[in-house]
Amino acid sequence: MQNQTDIFDKCSGDGGYYGAQRVEDDHYFTRPIVDPIPGRLMEFEGQQRIMWSVNNYLGLAENQEIKAVAVEAAQTYGVSAPMGSRMMTGNTPHHLELERRLATFTGKEAAVLFNYGYLGVIGTITSLAGPDDTLIMDKLAHACIVDAAMMAPAQVRVFKHNSIKDLESVLQSVQRQSKGGIMVLVEGVYGMTGDLARLDEICALKQKYGFRLFVDDAHGWGVMGSQGRGVADHFGVQDQVDVYFGTFAKAFASIGGFSATTKAVRDWISYNARTQVFAKSLPMIYVKSLQKTLELVIAGDENRARMWQNSNRLKQGLRELGYFIGGGQSPICAVFAPINGEQTETVGKRLVKFLRDRGVFATAITYPVIPLGLCMFRMIPTTSHTTEDIDRTIEVFRQMRDELTMDLKMAPEDQAKISRVYGKSAA
């Protein structure tokens, strides 16, 4: 008998993620078409805008030394090499050398490369967690952690964002009910809200409950800690992190990711992570240029200092105007917009349009990426931004406040929601 419905029917309706924008063929708010040349200024709709939405923390996307290594690698190896997966014909001494350097820098025995951070998190977690095991993840964890937990054959539990009390009570209940192992999954820097996982307090629970800890430090790697070693180093607990995960898509301004751990666990992941076992190996252009990038990150204290100066200037300027800036301890500047009973998407669109029309490219973030009822601009200050870029941006936020007669006072219920995100560190 024939099926009554066509699986493609939904594609003509306005359902799915951002369905209304898809139907309208919107390219302003969703999937905006931006000229790809990276930097502090980027072209959108025929005009240069000050760019606050790319994770180029250390300005390495524009770095000429890295480009030169990539050009040389393209000339030597072409764009396809190595052909095949690491298991077959895609393993090279250069991949092994990059893994060795990553392990040394992160203070771990060994590391394994992945083609994307997203695939690396999924490959690592799904290869490690079995049916008797339990994965306990933070409520605001990135989609790749959520997807990995759903794909793994393990039990999954969630704890309130950055709540040590809630994590402990979940750990107690899992200990009572399950026979298998436990792995806690957190981000190092929460990439949307800019707050840090309380890794010192989470690690303190390890002694009592004996779980393994996986830290996806996509936004802390290269940015936080000594020489950019990341958030666990920032808290002095890198030796207690069982799997330290970094992506190259943010501060490293490239592509790929890695898990750093013990040699035995690295070997297990290398042989069992389906997202890499059954995928082509990371191309040589990236392997070679990432070796250069790693050197620059390690020697990048000046770059990091400039990024922090820029972050502090932007946060302070916007706070002085009366904007509510999230209490995160990372460089990310999270600007919360007052909602006053309106739809968050309506507020977000109005403000995004105002900012972009005045030459400031920012992106509004709403549910489900942040809690329901909030609207936020997640701004990434980078080494490349100039003082003029920052001051101009602050001036445009002033114009927005005055011309749209924004009442920047946060309603008490919105403040309560924001406090729940930032906990103790809320501004």
Ligand X SMILES: Cc1ncc(COP(=O)(O)O)c(C=O)c1O
Q: Which residue lies nearer to ligand X by CB, 60 or 394?
A: 60
CB of residue 22 vs ligand X: minimum separation in angstroms?
21
Instruction: With H, G, I as helix, E, B as strand and everything else as coil, classify residue 55.
Output: coil
Q: Which residue lies nearer to ligand X by CB, 50 or 144?
A: 144
Terminal Cα distance for the chain, rounded: 62
Q: Which residue lies nearer to ligand X by CB, 116 or 323?
A: 116
Smallest CA-to-CA distance from 145 within 231, 247, 55, 229 is with 247
Using CA atoms of 250, 254, 259, 264 in order, give the dihedral in degrees to the nearest 10: -160
CB of residue 4 vs ligand X: minimum separation in angstroms?
38
Q: Which two tokens stand for residue 380?
A: 């990434």
Smallest CA-to-CA distance from 149 within 139, 136, 162, 167 is with 136
Pairing of strands 257-261, 110-114: antiparallel
Q: Which residue lies nearer to ligand X by CB, 122 or 339?
A: 122
Q: Which residue lies nearer to ligand X by CB, 261 or 313?
A: 261
Q: Which residue lies nearer to ligand X by CB, 99 or 187?
A: 187
CB of residue 191 vs ligand X: minimum separation in angstroms?
4
Q: Residue 338: what are its φ and ψ, rounded to 5°?
A: -70, 140
Pairing of strands 182-187, 212-216: parallel
CB of residue 386 vs ligand X: minimum separation in angstroms?
26
CB of residue 186 vs ligand X: minimum separation in angstroms?
10
Q: Which residue lies nearer to ligand X by CB, 140 or 174?
A: 140
CB of residue 118 vs ligand X: minimum separation in angstroms?
4
CB of residue 117 vs ligand X: minimum separation in angstroms?
2
Residues at the contact surface with ligand X, assessed by CB under 6 A: 116-118, 121, 142, 144, 187, 191, 216, 218-219, 247, 249, 257
Q: Which residue lies nearer to ligand X by CB, 238 or 247?
A: 247
CB of residue 295 vs ligand X: minimum separation in angstroms?
20
Is-contact 135 152, C-beta < 8 A? Answer: yes
What 8-state DSSP symbol labels residue 370? S
* Alpha carbon separation from 157 to 207, 243, 322, 359 (Å, rounded): 20, 19, 38, 44
Is-contact 188 232, C-beta < 8 A? Answer: yes
State the Cα–Cα distance between residues 179 and 339, nearest whole angstrom.
46
Is-contact 195 161, C-beta < 8 A? Answer: no
Is-contact 70 60, C-beta < 8 A? Answer: no
- Residue with the shortest CB distance to ligand X: 117
